Amino acid sequence: MLMSSVKFLLAIPIAAYQYDFSLWETFLFSSIGGVLGVIVFAKFNRWIIELYDTWMSNRQKQNSKKGLKKVVAIKTMRKYGLFGIAFLTPIFFSIPIGTFIALRFFPNKKKTLPVLAASVFGWSFVLSVVLTTL
């Protein structure tokens, strides 16, 4: 569950192959871990944003290289909004980074957190089915 809250994409194969969890065990543990990760990182979001803003203001502006995840996040947010960010969060961004990005662009937690949780449940189910039936 702890691994699911941080690096979701790695947790399900480990649960399915290394620990030989069943479909429902894999789905349950990865879903609970992922949703708890979203909740915990949302709780500390304001502190993380303040830390990030301080770091960015202290960083030299000469190094303006954009990382792939940052470019994908901005393009996805502009084109697909919250649902696009939530769709990519568990798989591409990871739970902490995706939660940070989603709450940065969409700060209303009452709307953002259920969408992120639904994405975690969806990806957990799909990956659990695929990896436990192979």
pLDDT digits (tens, 9 = 90+) for 71-87: 787 888 889 999 999 99
Confidence of residue 26 (pLDDT cuts 50, 70, 90): very high
Q: For residues 77 and 84, is the Cβ–Cβ distance under 8 A?
A: yes
Per the structure, the count of domains in the chain is 1
- Say which residue, 43 or 63, is predicted with more confidence: 43
The 8-class DSSP code of residue 84 comes to H
What pLDDT score does 118 carry? 97
Q: For residues 36 and 43, is the Cβ–Cβ distance under 8 A?
A: no
Question: What is the token pair recorded at 72?
Answer: 């994908």
Q: Average pLDDT of 95-105?
A: 91
What pLDDT score does 64 carry? 52
Q: Report the phi/psi class of residue 106: left, alpha or beta, with left for phi > 0 and alpha for psi in -120 to 50.
A: beta
- Mean pLDDT, all residues of the chain: 87
* pLDDT above 50 for 92: yes
> Residue 77 sits in which domain range?
2-58+66-133
Closest CA to 38 of 114, 122, 128: 114
- What's this model's pTM, rounded to 2 decimal places? 0.82
Confidence of residue 49 (pLDDT cuts 50, 70, 90): confident
Cβ neighbours for 19, distance < 8 A, ≥ 6 positions apart = none
What pLDDT score does 62 carry? 44
